[in-house]
Structure 1
Amino acid sequence: MISACSVKSYSEQAITPIRLASNLHETWDQALHNFIGFPTPTAFSVCHDMSCHTISDASLSNTQWHDVSRLFTPTAENATVERQQIQHAIALLETLVGEQLGTHADNAKNRLDGSRNGQLDCIDEATNTSVYLRLLESENLLTWHKTAPRTSRGPLSGQAPHNTATIIDITTDERYAVDAWFKANGKPPAIVVLTDWYQGWRPDDN
Structure 2
Amino acid sequence: MMLRRVVFLVFAVTILTGCAGGRDQPIAERIYTLHPEGGPTPESFVICSGHGCRDRHTVSLSPGQWQSVKAVFATPPANAAEERELIRVAVSRLERLAGAATGTDADLAGTYSNMWMQRQLDCADETVNTTTYIRLLMADRLVTKHRLGGRLHKGNIIDYLPHMAPSIIDQETGTQWAVDSWYLDHGEPPEIVTAQVWHTDYETWGSTGKPARP
1:205 aligns with 2:210: yes
The list of structure 1 runs, each at least 4 consecutive aligned residues, that deviate by more than 6 angstroms after superposition, is 31-34
Whole-Å separation in 2 of the counterparts to 1:33 and 1:80: 27
Q: Is the 8 A contact 1:102 1:118 kept in 2?
A: yes
- Opposite residue 34 of structure 2, the aligned amino acid is F
Cα RMSD for the two superposed structures:
2.8
How far did 1:178 drift? 0.1
**How big is the shift at 1:145?**
1.1
Give the alignment of 1:1-206 within 5 angstroms.
Answer: 20=21, 35-37=34-36, 38-110=39-111, 115-155=116-156, 158-202=159-203, 203=206, 204-206=209-211
Structure 2: any 5+ residue segments left out of the alignment? 1-18, 25-29
- Offset at residue 147 of structure 1 (A): 1.4
Tell whether the 8 Å contact from 2:47 to 2:59 is kept in structure 1 after alignment. yes
Q: Deviations over 1:3-34 (max 9, x none)?
A: xxxxxxxxxxxxxxx9949x9xxxxxxx9997
Counterpart CA distance in 1 for 2:202 and 2:20 is 24
TM-score by length of 1: 0.79
Q: Distance in 1 between matches of 2:151 and 2:116?
A: 27
Q: Could you tell me whether the CA contact under 8 Å between 1:106 and 1:120 is conserved in 2?
A: yes
Q: Give the secondary structure class of the aligned counterpart of 1:155.
A: coil
User: Is the helix fraction higher in 1 or 2?
Assistant: 2
What letter is aligned with 2:84? R
The TM-score with structure 2 as length reference comes to 0.76
Letter in 1 for 2:67: H
Identity of aligned residues (%): 34
Q: Output the CA distance in 1 between the equivalents of 2:20 and 2:154.
A: 16
Distance 1:112 1:193, change over 3 A: same
Is the partner of 1:104 in helix, strand or coil? Answer: helix
Segments of 5+ residues of structure 1 without an aligned counterpart are 1-17, 24-30
- Partner SS state of residue 106, structure 2: coil
Residue pair 1:107, 1:183 contacting (<8 A) in 2 also: yes
